[in-house]
Structure 1
Amino acid sequence: MHSCFDVAKYFLAQSSEDAGDLISNLKLQKLVYYAQGFSLALSGRPLFDEHIEAWLHGPVIPALYHHYKDFGSGHIPHPVAFDLGIFTAQERELLDEAYEFYGQYSAWRLRQLTHDESPWRESYREGSNQVIHRDSMTRFFQTQVVH
């Protein structure tokens, strides 16, 4: 199994500063969340083990947040020496589709999308970072995929 950092680096490696396609910590959190959700729905398996919590601004992987928090709301640069080959062809397809669809949105738009979805809505408690359970994500994301 991969780590949330592997998935994050995959998305960061896809971004293009020249095209104005920049990824902030907030946007990265949402992209990694969506990748995990679609993996659960399509394969029945998580892409990574780290838990996701319902924070004020949507789903967050705490370890990933703390790793990149020094960038603030600025963009995170491309990873150095990252091997995309650690992912299977099926995983790369899933990640590419998630990035193609959700990568077009701003961080704030992705935040709004997650606020309208049941995994975050059912888990969020003001002032308390609650875990978003995988079964909740699986149920929701299964309604979002075309079989």
Structure 2
Amino acid sequence: MADVFDTATYILEQRGPMTTMKLQKLIYYSQAWSTVWDDDVIFPESIEAWRNGPVVRELWQDMKGQFRVDAVSRGSSANLTDTQKETIARVLSFYGDKDAQWLSDLTHMEDPWKKAYAEGQNTEIFPAWLVEYYSSIAPAK
């Protein structure tokens, strides 16, 4: 199974350097839409509800102290399936041109982050919550 570093590597290969905050939000939306469109997660790592939106702690630790990134310390896009790459490409097509603050603000308006954050900062956003919410607003694939 691919991991969050494989996913981050692919996103950076497709979109180039970006802020760590934006990368975290694109990772989140890739996972969210994969749960709906592909009926599966792309990576096994947990997503947590942090103050500035959803964050994968392992990826945050890898990028800690960096504002902009152009690569992560490990990961290979070759570990992603064609279906996963297609899902990420669709996410990037819609969300990729948005800035980090816009993406963070959007996550704060959506139920998965709100539900987890209401339980306490850094609470896990479960894949089942992603499916429940995003399937209710899912565009046709």
Question: Does the aligned pair in 1 maintain the 2:50–2:122 contact within 8 Å?
Answer: yes
Question: Does the aligned pair in 1 maintain the 2:62–2:72 contact within 8 Å?
Answer: no
Give the one of 21, 24, 27 matched to 1:29: 24
Structure whose CA Rg is larger: 1
TM-score (normalizing by structure 1): 0.86
2:58 maps to what in 1?
Answer: 63
Distance 1:2 1:81, change over 3 A: closer
- Specify the code of the residue in structure 2 equivalent to 1:3: D
Counterparts of 1:68 and 1:111, CA distance in 2:
18
| Displacement after TM superposition at 1:136 (Å) | 0.7
- Specify the code of the residue in structure 1 equivalent to 2:4: C
Runs of 4+ residues deviating >6 angstroms:
none
| Displacement after TM superposition at 1:126 (Å) | 8.1
Q: State the Cα deviation string for residues 65-85 of structure 1 (Å, max 9, x = none).
A: 1101221x2x21146897533
Question: Does the aligned pair in 1 maintain the 2:4–2:59 contact within 8 Å?
Answer: yes
Give the one of 125, 128, 134 matched to 1:132: 125
1:2 maps to what in 2?
Answer: 2
Identity, % of aligned positions:
32
TM-score (normalizing by structure 2): 0.90
Give the one of 36, 41, 47 matched to 1:46: 41
2:13 maps to what in 1?
Answer: 13
Aligned pair 1:143/2:136, yes or no?
A: yes
Root-mean-square deviation (CA, aligned residues, Å) is 1.9
Gaps of at least 5 residues in structure 2 are: none
Counterparts of 1:81 and 1:143, CA distance in 2:
35
Counterparts of 1:40 and 1:127, CA distance in 2:
24
1:104 maps to what in 2?
Answer: 97
Q: State the Cα deviation string for residues 31-77 of structure 1 (Å, max 9, x = none).
A: 00000001111122110000000000000000101101221x2x211
Counterparts of 2:126 and 2:75, CA distance in 1:
29
